[in-house]
Amino acid sequence: MPTSHDRSAAPSPSAPVERAGRRRDKTAASNLRTEQVWRSLDRASVAVLGHVTGAGQPRTSGVVYKTLNRRLYVAVGPSSWKARQIAADHHVSVTVLVRRGGLLALLFPIPPATITFHGTAVVHAPGAPEVRPALAKLKRLLPP
C-alpha cells in the first residue's frame, strides 16, 4: 500500500497534497466556509442565471440580484421570456463573479473567482407580500 511519502503513488482526488514540507488541501474551495460564500454573494449584485427552455435547450442570462435571509432574489420582467421559462421548469444554476487580487489586480490581469451553484427558482407575482423586503433591496439596481 503506498504511503504519502511514496513519490510513485498518485494522491486520490480528495487527499491532501504535500508541498514544500507543508500539508495543504488540493483546492482552495475546500477551505471556504459557508459564511465566506454568503458574504461574497452579499457584496455582489450581478450574476449569470442558467436555465432550460421548454425545448430542453440551455440558456444563460445576466441578472441583478440581492440576498435576504440566505436566499437570492433575482429581478426579471414579470411577463418576460426568462420569467416564463423559469416558471415552467424551476431548475436554475447561478454563477457570480468575485473580484480578487486586491492591489495586484491593478498591475496584473487576475481573473475573477466564481461562486457557482444550482437550485430551484420560484417566480413570484409582482408586488407579492413575501417578496416586498427583497424588492426594496432590488429597487436601486433596477432601471427607472
Q: Is a pLDDT exceeding 90 seen at residue 64?
A: yes
Q: pLDDT digits over 16-46, tens only?
A: 434 444 444 455 556 779 999 999 999 999 9
Long-range contacts of 122-131 (CB under 8 A, 24+ apart): 122/90, 123/76, 123/83, 123/86, 123/87, 125/78, 126/78, 131/73
**No. of helices (H) and no. of strands (E), the chain:** 4, 7
Is the pLDDT score of 3 beyond 60? no
Mean pLDDT of 51-63: 92
Q: Is the pLDDT of residue 15 over 60?
A: no
From 24, 22, 18, 23, select the one nearest 5 (Cα to Cα). Answer: 18
Residue-wise pLDDT tens digits, 73-92? 998 888 898 999 999 999 99
Position 9 confidence tier, pLDDT thresholds 50, 70, 90: very low
User: pLDDT by residue (tens digit) across 91-135?
Assistant: 999 999 998 877 887 888 888 899 999 999 999 988 889 888 888
Give the C-alpha separation, 34 to 93, whole Å. Answer: 18
Which uninterrupted H or E stretch holds 9? none
